[in-house]
Amino acid sequence: LSKKVEMTNWETGNYINYAKMSENLNIVRQRMNNRPLTYAEKILYSHLDNPHEQEIERGVSYLKLRPDRVACQDATAQMAILQFMSAGMPSVATPSTVHCDHLIEAQIGGEKDLARAQDINKEVYDFLSTACAKYNIGFWKPGSGIIHQIILENYAFPGGLMIGTDSHTPNAGGLGMAAIGVGGADAVDVMANLPWELKAPKVIGVKLTGELSGWASPKDIILKVAGILTVKGGTGAIIEYHGPGVDSISATGMATICNMGAEIGATTSLFPFNDRMYDYLNATKRKHIGDFSRTYAKELKEDQGAEYDSLIEINLSELEPHINGPFTPDLATPISKFKEAVKANNWPEEMKVGLIGSCTNSSYEDMSRAASIARDALDHGIKAKALFTVTPGSEQIRATIERDGQLQTFEEFGGMVLANACGPCIGQWDRRDVKKGEKNSIVSSYNRNFTSRNDANPATHAFVTSPDLVVAMTIAGTLNFNPLTDSLKDKDGNEFKLKAPTGDGLPANGYDPGMDTYQAPPQDRSQVNVAVSPTSDRLQILEPFNAWDGKDATDLPILIKAQGKTTTDHISMAGPWLKYRGHLDNISNNMLIGAINSANGEANNIENYTNGEFGTVPGVARDYKAKGIRWVVVGDWNYGEGSSREHAALEPRHLGGLAIIVRSFARIHETNLKKQGMLPLTFSEPADYDKLNPDDKVDLLCTELAVGKPMTMKVHPKNGESYEIKLSHTFNEGQIEWFKNGSALNTMAKATKN
């Protein structure tokens, strides 16, 4: 255990510390009278800042943790680095990487799109690359691939703890790493050597038995789990897979399952270390890590008799392929029932576009299986009927499938190969086949399918499924096709059934690394200059927020009472807005423009109470701010579900918001709000949401803010008697300081000054 093994082949001097982890774990074990532990607990407890004194109660205590790594993608790294810069440190204290993947728009195909992105985003890429060089951060250039795929290929290791500024960071669970999505401000803490805080999660066990076969794939496991747990079912919990079925799943398949755990709000998802992971480590030139993990294997899985807060069992031998959607990732329908569902719900039957790849499903195995189906169609003289796109997850995957022929198969089949980047998954898609507002269906192998996400068209019905089903349905061009039971017609009109997909989990001839897309930080970093132009419309140096004035807030208007689903895509839309991710004032013009106003059922149309006029949400907020009026937002269940983007918290703060009052929050968003000095509050009585009218005024008794105590809100209806309700919160002592000082960053600055 005391051997020195590097965490990654790309750095020197950053070792995997199983010896220390084991020591910490033993301290905690003793304190817990050696009760059996889940794997999730083992990883967290072995990374405690103070294993001797840390209070540990699942679902209650805040754990102070020391993650091994930090990863950021370009759309969130800008804000993270701008915040890190204000901390005034010479370099990051924890190994970190930045990945350029979100800002590349899909238009006409990989190479040209990449060149266009390099041109359009030059200022941002230059900023990120110089900041990485300056602060000792590894930089993965545009074209290298999607953050989660690069992490799996190069940085993840069994038993490690990582945070990443992207909600799909849990993808690394495919290599047995606890990888957790956070906002940029959390990343800044860890980069600045502060411990990172996480409410001790509950652990939901998913026991897998049987074996996958035929058309069923790893994706179907998570699609089914999403159906069972729903979009908020994983909140505050780690999902831990275990049982004999685990061994039939490849490491990349496990990564797919962990990746999409984000869609059910889980803190992260995990698989225990096994031979499939060893094989993947070996294939990605990390056999030495695999061997080292084997020496620590006893602690890289759950203890016998470990107890889960709840348990789900899935028999893989009976698992059907699923399709989830539209508009929400938890609406799960098994393929045998899908035709009926399409009819019953009047979903558009014609499938316009099939999209495979993304961080969720772009492994060698995914691509090989998908290509085997496309090849089957080609052998029968037919091609894709719907449009078809392929996004390789990394340059390594792209180069390998180019060498091994899958890529040519996709092209022959009629596919367009896009850049190694997020592309249509995050609305970076110059879609031209349907007009905005036109009702249509698309099916992807991605993870998220919120309204307007892919193409900014609210009438697009987006479904998510395995790459296998995407390809099969692309051939048929209709949602009504079930490849398990239905036949197609070959070029001569003869009926045939598609063969079930096959494909290697790992490339027989090894991976081809492709182009070199990594920039290591230079040895001498003292001369590197990080420039932000004061006239830039893409980057803006952050000004500290004002501290709390120490008073109760009275007579606050409700800027908007949002009804129904309010995801981070509704609060701070991506797609065309991604370009302002480094400029707080500019991006604030998208604040809550997708949220539905309960007063009129419309998006981005709210009443300004000072003059009775209707305007856009950001417009009215700016008017209140100019008039010195602070305001609150009221929202429904699971507010802020989806992305880790802290812009969804920074924008309301910047435009003068004080509190967000909802029935419940998604974890990352709630923390992001606290970090930026906002008050995330929940109705102690969820039914009180219904009592509030959008034109009520409220008083928030901020002076009552104390750990574990509800806060009083006085409601003053426009016509009618005032009344009081109670609001709950999850602030701890330290977090209350963030509110008082105006933000976590202000708190950090204050501490370094003292």
Contact set with ligand SF4 (CB under 6 A): 102, 146, 166, 168, 358-359, 422, 425-426, 446-448
Q: Give which of 646, 311, 335 is closest to 486, Cα–Cα.
A: 335
Minimum CB–partner distance for residue 261 and ligand SF4 (Å): 12
Smallest distance, Å, CB 166 to ligand SF4? 5
- Partner in contact with 358, chosen from ligand SF4, ligand MIC, none, beta carbon below 5 to 8 Å by kind: ligand SF4
Q: Which of 68, 113, 166, 220 is catalytic?
A: 166
Does position 426 interact with ligand MIC (CB under 6 A)? The reply is yes
Q: How far is the CB of 114 from ligand SF4 (least distance, A)?
A: 15
CA neighbours closer than 13 Å in the CB half-sphere of residue 129? 15
Site size for ligand MIC (CB under 6 A): 14
Q: Sheet of 518-519: strands edge to edge?
A: 178-181, 161-164, 69-73, 96-99, 138-140, 518-519
Stretch that binds ligand MIC, among 286-294, 428-436, 539-547, 643-651 (CB under 6 A): 643-651
76 interface partner picked from ligand SF4, ligand MIC, none, CB below 5 to 8 A per type = ligand MIC
C-alpha 644/C-alpha 185 separation (Å) is: 11
The structure tokens listed for 343 are 């009819």
Least Å distance between CB 167 and ligand MIC?
A: 3
If contact means CB under 5 to 8 A according to the sort of partner, which of ligand MIC, ligand SF4, none does residue 501 touch?
A: none
Is residue 102 part of the annotated active site? The answer reads yes
Tokens standing for residue 565: 């689903």
Task: State which residue, 422 or 595, has the beta carbon closest to ligand SF4.
Answer: 422
Residue placing its CB nearer to ligand MIC in the complex, 426 or 476: 426
Interface residue with ligand MIC, options 461, 645, 663, 675 (CB under 6 A):
645
Alpha helices by DSSP H, 455-602: 467-476, 568-571, 584-587
Nearer to ligand MIC, 77 or 208 (CB): 77
Q: Which is nearer to ligand MIC, 215 or 450 (CB)?
A: 450
Binding map of ligand MIC across residues 27-66, x = CB under 6 A, - = no contact: ----------------------------------------
- Would you count residue 168 as binding ligand MIC (CB under 6 A)? yes
Min. distance of Cβ 413 from ligand MIC in angstroms? 27
Smallest separation, CB 426 to ligand SF4 (Å): 4
327 CB neighbour count, 10 Å cutoff: 16
525-584 positions binding ligand MIC, by CB under 6 A: 574
CA dist 310 and 264 (Å) reads 15
Whether 452 is a known active-site residue: answer: no
Whole-number minimum distance, CB 426 to ligand MIC, in Å? 4
Q: What is the Cα–Cα distance from 451 to 454, expressed in whole angstroms? A: 8
164 vs 656 by CB, closer to ligand SF4 = 164
Per CB under 6 A, which of residues 128..167 are in contact with ligand MIC? 166-167
CA atoms of 16 and 648, how far apart (whole Å): 35
Active site annotation includes 398: no
645 interface partner picked from ligand MIC, ligand SF4, none, CB below 5 to 8 A per type: ligand MIC
Smaller CB separation from ligand MIC, 567 or 604: 567
Kindly state the smallest distance separating residue 118's Cβ from ligand SF4, in Å: 18
Catalytic residue among 101, 220, 330, 455: 101
Tell which positions 613-642 bind ligand MIC, by CB under 6 A: 642
Compose the 72-91 pattern: x for residues touching ligand MIC by CB under 6 A, - for all others. ---xx---------------
Q: Where are the beta strands (DSSP E) in 35-89?
A: 62-65, 69-73
Partners of 72 in beta bridges: 98
Sheet containing strand 322-324, edge to edge, reads 332-334, 322-324, 460-464, 440-444, 351-357, 387-391, 416-417
Q: Is the peptide bond before 326 cis (omega within 30 degrees of 0)?
A: yes
Could you say which of 102, 242, 461, 583 is catalytic? 102
* Two structure tokens written together for 7: 């965490």
Interface residues for ligand MIC in 733-752 (CB under 6 A)?
Answer: none
Q: Is 448 a catalytic residue?
A: yes
CB-nearer residue toward ligand SF4: 54 or 171: 171
> In whole angstroms, what is the distance from residue 600 CA to residue 484 CA?
45
Q: Which does 75 bind (CB under 5 to 8 A by kind): ligand MIC, ligand SF4, none?
A: ligand MIC
Residue 98 to residues 80, 179, 259, 360, 574, Cα–Cα distance (Å): 10, 15, 19, 19, 19
Nearest distance in Å: CB 356, ligand SF4? 12
Q: In whole angstroms, give the CA distance from residue 201 to residue 667.
A: 11
State yes or no: is 309 an active-site residue. Answer: no
Told to judge if 116 belongs to the known catalytic residues of this protein, a careful annotator would answer no
Nearer to ligand SF4, 148 or 583 (CB): 148
What separation in angstroms does the CA of 251 have from each of 151, 169, 172, 254, 274? 13, 15, 10, 5, 9
Query: CA-based diameter of the chain, in Å?
Result: 81
Q: Provide the 10 A C-beta neighbour count for residue 477.
A: 17
Helix (H, G, I), strand (E, B) or coil at 83: helix
Provide, rounded to whole angstroms, the least separation between the CB of residue 425 and ligand SF4: 3
Cβ 145 vs Cβ 394: under 8 Å: yes
Token pair for 311: 């348990």
CB 558 within 8 A of CB 654: no
277 touches 175 (CB < 8 A)? yes
Given the residues 269, 445, 643, 664, the one annotated as active site: 643
Q: Which residues are catalytic?
A: 101-102, 166, 448, 643, 645
Where do contacts with ligand MIC occur on this chain (CB under 6 A)?
Answer: 75-76, 102, 166-168, 181, 426, 448, 574, 642-645
